[in-house]
Structure 1
Amino acid sequence: MDAGIERAERQQPVRLRQSTTAKYRVGDSDKRPWGDWAVLDVGNGYIVKRIRVDPGQRLSLQFHHHRAEDWTVISGKGIVEIAGKPIGVGPGTHVHIPTMATHRISNTGDEVLTFIEIQRGEVLDETDIVRLSDDYGR
């Protein structure tokens, strides 16, 4: 084989799996039975959302196969459950949720609970939510 052809074959670009983050765009938002969310930033392998949980409401008990999450509470108070362990949270509290860990957040206060969520992983969309328990029948 010609050395030039062999060298060209070895230098073919590696094709990377396309990130699914392109499904979200900055400014996307949605109202949910428990409150709402809005996308603040999107990049290759991550999404940043602002999530607001109304007083007395909570997200579904869920886990994700393909992403980890970090939550930082901005305002309000509540309880985060990670792998069955309850953690009281308030402004400035940070929690890390590993891939596959069951989790939820409940607003136990009288004001809206606001937190910033950073999702990191390969699948960053609604298809990677496995709901185990949901107050709203989803």
Structure 2
Amino acid sequence: MANVVERPWGWFETLGAGEGYLVKRLCIRAGQRISLQRHHHRSEHWVVVAGTGSLLCATQTIGAEVGTALLIPCGALHRATAGEHDLLIVEVQRGELLSEDDIERIADDYQRVSERAQGKC
């Protein structure tokens, strides 16, 4: 795979981009989860393409299985958690800033909480 970015929870790769959108594939390793986060400049649409787990958006948690789709509005807290097997998600980002710099981490298993979330900004 080209363009793979390793993370403590698994990896992601960028599949394509255009005016106002970016498409990624995320692999969350079995038993791992991404940070509880939000974005101030983009929305996301997740589609589960392999594996199982759970998806959180705002106050709602839904089961993740092949075909599950979730719309994450700009500013909404969200997190994906893998179950017993790797969870593979295709993510479509839409917005004015499509960058890793637009991640505000509220809670994280790997101690990567944003300064803004800690009240330092």
**Normalised by the size of structure 1, how large is the TM-score?**
0.78
| 1:90-109 paired onto structure 2 within 5 Å | 90-108=65-83
Which whole-Å deviations, capped at 9, do the CAs of 1:32-78 have from their partners, x for residues lacking one? 00000011111111100010000000000000000000000001001
Query: In structure 2, what is the equivalent of residue 82 of structure 1?
Result: 57
Q: 2:6 aligns with which of 11, 31, 56?
A: 31
Q: Secondary structure at the match of 2:75?
A: coil
Task: Describe the superposition over 1:68-126 as per-residue Cα deviations: whole angstroms up to 9, x where unpaired.
Answer: 00000001001111102111110011100000000000012x22110100000000001
Partners of 1:121 and 1:134 lie apart in 2 by 24
Deviating above 4 A after TM superposition, structure 1's stretches of 4 or more consecutive aligned residues are none
Give the root-mean-square deviation of aligned CA atoms: 0.8
Pairs aligned (count):
111
The match for 2:96 is 122
Structure 1's unaligned 5+ residue stretches are 1-26
Mark the structure with the bigger radius of gyration: 1
What is the aligned-residue identity percentage? 46
Normalization by structure 2: what TM-score? Answer: 0.89
